[in-house]
Structure 1
Amino acid sequence: MKNLFKAVMMLGIFAFFACEGPPGPPGIPGQDGIVIVGEVFEIGNVNFTSANNFQSDYYEFTVPIEPGDKLLAYILWDVVDDTDVWRALPQTNFEFPQFGIFMYNYDFTRFDFSFFMDGNFDLSALPSEFTRNQVFRVVVFPADLANARMDFSDFNNVMEYMGKTEKDIVQLQPRQ
């Protein structure tokens, strides 16, 4: 009887490990084994003038971004003790009450993006430090990483969350 019980138990164990469940959901087509990561770009020497209607050139992505991905943009606002201070766009500025308010903003498609300034006064009246040689960073944030608790206004937090460092930032030039 003991031998029969042992044989049934062994058979049961082999049958248990030989079972397969239903297949899982399919993955993203063409993404087998690929880790989904975002990209970070830096665009320097952006000039806003009345000649370009206070809008930058367009910058193209090397590969179109996925439809659900988020584009985050930041402007280099200040440098304090050799540390860059980045502010999320849109960024509204109230420093010139004699003129009014203005803002830096951006727009994008899956294929490209640009920056622009808008205000309730003639922007050519602004000092050149607000219109010339601006530096921006753009983060393509994958929808798969989106988290409702994420603070997207903090550039350094976004970089850390994505596992990116300064070495990962790609310098972009306007499209030709």
Structure 2
Amino acid sequence: MKKIAYLLFALTFILTACEGDPGPPGFDGLDGLPADDFAARSFERTINFEYFSDTGLQESVVTLPTTILDRDAVLVYRLEGTVNVGGQPTDTWSPLPQNFFLEGSDIIQYIFNHTFADVELLIDGNFDLSTLESGFTQNQTFRIIVLPVENLNSVNISDMNEVMQTFNIDSFQ
């Protein structure tokens, strides 16, 4: 009987809560960074390159729809064409830089550079690029993806599908 009394006594203390006046509120914490600073952004553009004789390159500048941070990474993919996968037409994309070996020893390379406001797409080569056929310079579609660098450690950026899946990218502006 004593054991039951001790058990009931112990349960009474365990199951009852202390109540009283609430204490003073704590200090507010520091504001965090906006969530958009850590979100992947992506968009597609179809462009026409223009030859510039002062640089000897085919060039086009794409304005970014939002400014990016210095710590963001920019990835660019070029639309190669469409193939059938499981009976469905599927776009094929290649990451830049991308090389093409043309007739003889002629070579071109799609490359890019960027600032916080735009992406400059370039075609470089080892011959007079003013003579480059329009199939390489006109109506070229590029997919540009802006990623926060903090999230790139374990992502294979050469595989656009993995990048899109990792960062939950399902639409393009």
Q: Is TM more than 0.5 here?
A: yes
Higher Cα radius of gyration: 2
Match of 1:138 in 2: 144
CA distances 1:154-175 after superposition (whole Å, capped 9, x unpaired): 222211221122xx201xxxxx
Residue 162 and residue 100 in structure 1: after superposition, are their counterparts in 2 closer, same or farther (change >3 A)? Answer: same
- Out of 151, 157, 160, the position equivalent to 1:155 is 160
SS of equivalent to 1:159:
helix
Conserved 8 A contact 2:37-2:148: no
Match of 1:105 in 2: 111
Structure 1 unpaired stretches of 5+: 15-22, 171-176
Q: Which has the higher strand share?
A: 2
Match of 2:73 in 1: 70
- Alignment TM-score, normalising by the size of structure 1: 0.72
Residue 27 and residue 68 in structure 1: after superposition, are their counterparts in 2 closer, same or farther (change >3 A)? Answer: farther
CA distance in 1, matches of 2:15, 2:117: 60
Q: What is the aligned-residue RMSD (CA, Å)?
A: 3.1
1:119 and 2:122 are equivalent in the alignment: no
- Out of 75, 83, 88, the position equivalent to 2:90 is 83
Which AA in structure 2 matches 1:153? S
Conserved 8 A contact 1:75-1:89: yes
Structure 2 unpaired stretches of 5+: 19-26
Work out the number of aligned pairs and report it: 156
1:26-65 aligned within 5 A: 26=30, 28-29=32-33, 31=34, 36-50=38-52, 53-57=57-61, 59-65=62-68
Residue 136 and residue 27 in structure 1: after superposition, are their counterparts in 2 closer, same or farther (change >3 A)? Answer: same
- Alignment TM-score, normalising by the size of structure 2: 0.73
Moved over 6 A (4+): none
Conserved 8 A contact 1:48-1:117: no
CA distance in 1, matches of 2:36, 2:130: 47
CA distances 1:97-133 after superposition (whole Å, capped 9, x unpaired): 4142110011111121110111111123332211221
